A and B are shown apart, each in its own frame.
Chain A
């Protein structure tokens, strides 16, 4: 019914930066195939195709931006505490260009 294959899963896994076992790939493929069933169920709702999409729980929500005032910063030492690799007072990241 669809063009979904194990290779489809592998492509998404590659884009999402992880590897999967063969068993995980097969289960994920079934999940993708199940999306068609999900959409069939959603499309059975009378009038759904003309409904407005809902992206936020509260329709009358008014976003109030905070005042643009400086606040106390987190000490750098605290921020570095979880970094595996640190150079001086900076997080050392792997080389990105020509890495």
Chain B
């Protein structure tokens, strides 16, 4: 009997009825973890010594899960995907981990990620590249690569990721599952390594909207140790799911869906866009209003550039904490300067070093106005454009990226498609809640649709996603098994 391919609510029912024990669930999750590690390199750590817990009232009690290796876990190795922290074992849990523990969920694995979340390929972490279970020659995307891999491979029903630059939702799209990033500050980031602080979000990867809602419900809420959190007492994500889309007003941005804006589009991209428009027509055929809107192309084309500048700048500041003096392996040298330098030289990967150099450049006194402040102004303009859309619409639909997972042998982006590839960043710029759900297949590989709503209105967003998910047949997908 296989259990880990089921939903959280199905597992809870089996536990309550005594048809499966917590130990059986955990044993299966751990066994599958080792199998998946062998094939796809999804884990930094499989928590073999985890306690199975007890089946209780909470729907997550005794449910095994994984967490991206950027979440601090007490007594369990937490590397941030970096050689610089290869032996770091935190003395405390991230707040999100604590809240799941209080509900009785069982941490069964720490998943592979891009180093410190820098990267979107799942290939830059210290323990190597993550392969996609739908096609091992392809990537899972990043940074939350291992979490997406584990969930789509049926290791457990959900895993935690982080979303700074589409990094929960893009891996979800590549792996045919659900990736949800709540409104900024809804889930505490205390204990999660900081990357780009003004855009960092905790997120969930799951195989259904309902499971993502349950997990976010459990983790959300104010935290005295994260001053960006806010009161979520009136938000009940799972309870709000009824799938009723009557009266909802949706839109999509023409410039992100029409092939005429991508003259160099290959057949894969054309099929991805056609698949998206099929789903738009499906919604319209069911009586749901989906308008086509237009956004200034200059705004969309600037999105990757805004991220490149702000992302490098904020990451540079945060990564200065990686010294090797207080934690992590201490570098060699005659004095603190040499030790500090040796630690960073040997510990930080090439991509991270490049980002730090770029961040240093744009933050230099004489450059701040030209680069950093300009990017912050650009961010404002882009976010304001989306806020205008939310005055008229409940959610914005868009194709997730430019198609299915890319080959590991060719991670280059297709020139001329950048504004679509990186449109998911807009939700990170504005803190908007955003979710990617699987919406079909292109060339035998899963693709996704990203749905973004207005800040604080996560209930409406998830209910729209839940309704759309229910109209399609891609819920609960396991790689290799189809659905």
Contacts and interface: CB of A to CB of B under 8 A. Distances in A.
Contacts, number: 175
B269 interface: no
Residues of B contacting A: mostly = helix
A91 B341 CA distance: 19
Q: Output the residue of B333, B376, B377 with the most chain A CB within 10 A.
A: B377
Interface string A19-42: 111001001100110110111011
B157 interface: no
Contact of B381 (A16, A17, A34, A51): A51
Given A20-B353, A61-B228, A83-B326, A74 B91 contact: yes
Given A18-B345, A49-B377, A99-B335, A12 B327 contact: no
A41 B350 contact: no
A13 B199 CA distance: 25
Interface stretch (B130-138, B202-210, B283-291, B295-303): B295-303
Interface in A54-99: 54-58, 61, 63-66, 74, 78-79, 81-85, 91, 93-96, 99
A46 B384 CA distance: 13
A96 to B, nearest CB: 6
A28 to B, nearest CB: 4
Range of interface residues on chain A?
A: 35 or more
A82 B327 contact: yes
Nearest to A44: B298
B298 A46 contact: yes
B375 to A, nearest CB: 6
Contacts of A9: 357
Interface stretch (B38-46, B140-148, B358-366, B475-483): B358-366
A71 B329 CA distance: 30
A1 interface: no
Range of interface residues on chain B?
A: 35 or more
Interface of A: 8-9, 12-13, 15-21, 24, 27-28, 31-32, 34-35, 37-39, 41-49, 51-58, 61, 63-66, 74, 78-79, 81-85, 91, 93-96, 99
Given A31-B358, A58-B185, 6 more contacts: A16-B320, A24-B354, A31-B355, A48-B378, A83-B326, A95-B336
Interface of B: 87-92, 183-185, 198-199, 224, 227-228, 230, 296, 298-299, 301-302, 304-306, 308-309, 316, 320, 325-330, 333-337, 339-341, 344-345, 348, 350, 353-358, 360-362, 370-371, 373-383, 429-431, 455
